[in-house]
Structure 1
Amino acid sequence: MESVIEEDIVIVGAGIAGLTTSLGLHRLGIRSLVLESWDGLRVSGFAITMWKNGWKALDAVGVGDILRHQHLQLPRNVTTSLITGQQTSTTSFNDNKGKYEVRCVRRHVMLEALANELPRGTIRYLSKVVAIEESRFFKILHLIDGTTIKTKVLIGCDGVNSVVAKWLGMKEASYTGRYATRGYVELKDTHNLDPMFMYFGKGFRGGVFPCHHNAIYWFFTWTPIIQGEELAQDTSKLKQYVLKKLEKLSSDVRIFIEKTEFDAFHLAPLRYRKPWELIMGNISKGNVCVAGDALHPMTPDLGQGGCCALEDGVVLARCLAEAFFNKSIKEEKEEEYKRIEEGLKKYANERRWRCIDLIATSYIVGSIQQSGSKFVNFFRDKFLASFLALMLLKKSDFDCGQLK
């Protein structure tokens, strides 16, 4: 007879949201099991910009200082129009109180920092969920290797193609028609970059950020005439395409893209969840919910995707812990189920409008930044550049709270 593994909480996906949720629960004395379909931590995109709100969430789960010591703090953002060749704005990240902490964090370093704080055996690799069943107050998960897991709580942190989100009735994320290329280069010598640089052109945008003293992360987003899939098949053509579009970059910045090896390029279409789907849809249902990109895939134009996933993890761990701590000794399974359901509803209510705000704002900001219209570009470069830069700070000025 097939054996069934029983767990209180199962998290599908060992990405940013999944590991943060699991670590938050662990800090509060609650065990969870994280299922990851790959044979190790999945890393794509090389690095993410970590804004003020992200650092608050990292500090809440106790790994902020681990990452601070490994990444440079960025003092300001400098934006330049590649149409006119002129700087359009400079935005300081520091005031008298050092208000905005911004660093470009290597994704694999962050995931390892989160995973290393978890008890041994928390993450189960090569564990792809292929089916989800209901069994009264439990969910039954069937894995590709034949394993069956019975759980009181199911959390989907399994990315933009989430199996759990599909079970909740969420639609597939929509394509924006835009693509993003990301790259990462480690240098033999120390670079001289200090701020983060953002560039706007006609129909494209780019950015170059220092991660630490000898590593640079860069990105390039555009609406392709040549389809991204075609460029993805030949990385040398992709590199040439990016360099041609960014030919007006100053040589001391352009050189970092030139030095990026072909295997350090990452290309992906940009997808997002339409805001009204979160207004009408289910973030949670019974003892099931979603977080991270399974909940709020968004365009990268505010740099808030990863930060928002960290917020999800802290809020979700807090709400679930409240539900489990309020358990009585003689409680029936139905009462426990209702408590868990209310805890997940509380999480959903707390996160819904924050996610809607970030998705919608990011989409609008990206449409302006990457416009192909001469009129919009003129207006952007002459009047909106400082406003768009300040929007990055405004949306990062958010506190998801502590675990307790």
Structure 2
Amino acid sequence: MTRTAAVVGGGIGGLTAAIGLLAAGWQVTVYERGQTLPTTGTGLGIWPSALHALDSLGIGAAVRAAGLPQGNGAIRRPDGRPIVALDMDRIRARHGEPVHLVPRPALLRVLHGALPAGTVHFGVPVDDVTALRAGHDVVIGADGIGSRVRTTLFGQRYGLRYTGATAWRGTADIDIDSGGETWGTGARFGVTPQGPGQTNWYAVLTVPENHRLTRPDADELRHRFGHWHDPIPAVLDRYATSDVIRHDLYHLAPALPTYVRGNVALLGDAAHAMTPDLGQGACQAIIDGAALARCLAGGGVEAGLRAYDRERRRPTRRMAAASLIVNRLAQVRRWHSARDLTMRLALTFGPPA
């Protein structure tokens, strides 16, 4: 008898899980609130561990082809002096390949294209999973950082906490030689190449939650970052032609005691929303989705869900905690020398891969 799964959320983790379950012989329906796949979005760093998970689903090569390898970079001070190198050659030597930079829309197109037509039902929000739980063997909550499935299962205690910072993300029509971040006082700016003539950028400021700026966003960012080292001023000069997204940064706290309740499993940001400071949100969602499908491919549903929770809860909690530590370090307003030394020591042991 064919087993059935309903996936709430057609983002990176939900689509990955759907691909794996369909390959294992499940009947899968994905419910996505949005009307269609997004056409805009900045680049994502897909680390080797996530690429290997995609390889297990047969789509790793397509994802690599949709992006480009990330080159070496650095974390710098506003005047351009390096704090610590970001050594992609070291990652390549350890894992056989570097991080790949893939635009979010391109990644989602690859994932969606690996599913049979009609698997994803766009424009269908799911606010109550009760009916889905009764009608399917498994329900997967992949509905993102503001997950309603998570709230249904665990209530308001496990909610989003403001990190103290807000971010702007965009792309600029400019070439850069290498990427990295620049850390100031309660402020950061990052750039990564996306392709010929295209650069991803993001800016982060320490401000109160829901803060209203006294000047337009573009003017505020030029005021805060326009005197920093190249290519930051040139990137901001192209603000008007960027598709800029602004949002406050949140993480999930306290951590969930389990990612499974009954026949419902959470994955990705719904399970462990973390700050973006290690660039691991998309990667962990991919690994979650592949692991969940693998755990459910063989034996019974209950045993498979327990195995998924055992496999993924602890490593994702550690990753979320480490990301939050970096967030705190990057946003400090003093003790910069101690912060810089801490980062150099941390990267000595190698970044997550």
Q: Is the 8 A contact 1:272 1:298 kept in 2?
A: yes
Segment of structure 1 superposing worse, 38-47 or 204-213: 38-47
TM-fit CA distance, 1:45: 4.7
Q: What's 2:33 paired with? A: 37
Q: Does 1:8 align with 2:4?
A: yes
1:183/1:257 contact within 8 Å kept: no
Q: Distance in 1 between matches of 2:302 and 2:40?
A: 33
306 and 271 in structure 1: CA distance in 2 versus 1, 3 angstrom threshold: same
* Aligned equivalent of 1:164: 149
Shift of 1:348: 0.8
Q: Which residue of 2 aligns with 1:66?
A: 62
Q: What does residue range 51-90 of structure 1 map to in structure 2 within 5 Å?
A: 51-82=47-78, 85-90=80-85
> Within 1, Cα distance between the matches of 2:64 and 2:43?
14
Contact 2:185 2:333 in 1 (8 A): yes
CA–CA separation in structure 2 for the residues paired with 1:296 and 1:306:
11
Establish whether residue 152 from structure 1 lines up as the match of residue 110 from structure 2: no
Gaps of 5+ in 2: none
Q: Does 1:125 align with 2:122?
A: yes
Q: Report the Cα distance in structure 1 between the residues aligned to 2:41 and 2:50, rounded to whole angstroms.
A: 17
C-alpha distance in 1 between matches for 2:310 and 2:351: 22
Counterpart in the other structure of 1:196: 179
Q: Distance in 2 between matches of 1:319 and 1:206?
A: 40
Q: Structure 1: where are the runs of 5+ without partners? A: 1-5, 141-149, 324-338, 397-404
Structure 2 residue aligned with 1:217, among 200, 206, 226? 200
Amino acid across the alignment from 1:94: D
* Aligned-partner Cα distance in 2 for 1:340–1:101: 36
Instruction: Tell me whether 1:395 sits opposite 2:352 in the alignment.
Output: yes
Higher-Rg member (1/2): 1
Aligned-residue CA RMSD in angstroms?
2.4
User: Who is 1:91 aligned against?
Assistant: 86
Partner of residue 314 from structure 2, selected from 337, 353, 370:
353
Q: Hey, what's the Cα distance between the residues in 1 that align with 2:225 and 2:298?
A: 51
Written as runs of structure 1 = structure 2, the 5 A alignment for 1:226-265 is: 228-231=210-213, 237-261=216-240, 264-265=243-244
Distance 1:110 1:292, change over 3 A: same
2:272–2:316: 8 Å Cα contact kept in structure 1? yes
Distance 1:169 1:282 in 2: 10
What is the CA–CA distance in structure 1 between the aligned matches of 2:311 and 2:236, rounded to whole Å?
Answer: 40
Note if contact 1:91-1:386 (Cα within 8 Å) is conserved in structure 2. Answer: no
Is the CA contact (8 Å cut-off) linking 1:185 and 1:260 kept in structure 2? yes
Q: Following TM superposition, by how much is the alpha carbon of 1:394 offset from its aligned partner in structure 2, in angstroms?
A: 2.9
| Segment drifting more, 125-134 vs 340-349 | 125-134
TM-score by length of 2: 0.91
- 1:42, CA displacement in angstroms? 4.5
State the shift of 1:104 in Å.
Answer: 2.1
Give the length in aligned residue pairs: 348
Secondary structure in 2 matching 1:40: coil
**Conservation of the 8 A alpha-carbon contact between 1:79 and 1:385:** no
1:209, CA displacement in angstroms?
A: 0.1
Q: Distance in 1 between matches of 2:228 and 2:347?
A: 19
**Partner residue in 2 for 1:380:** 339
* Deviation digits for residues 335-354 of structure 1 (CA, Å, limit 9, x no counterpart): xxxx2122111101111111
- Structure 1 range deviating more: 152-161 or 247-256: 247-256
Alpha carbons 1:185, 1:261 under 8 Å: kept: no
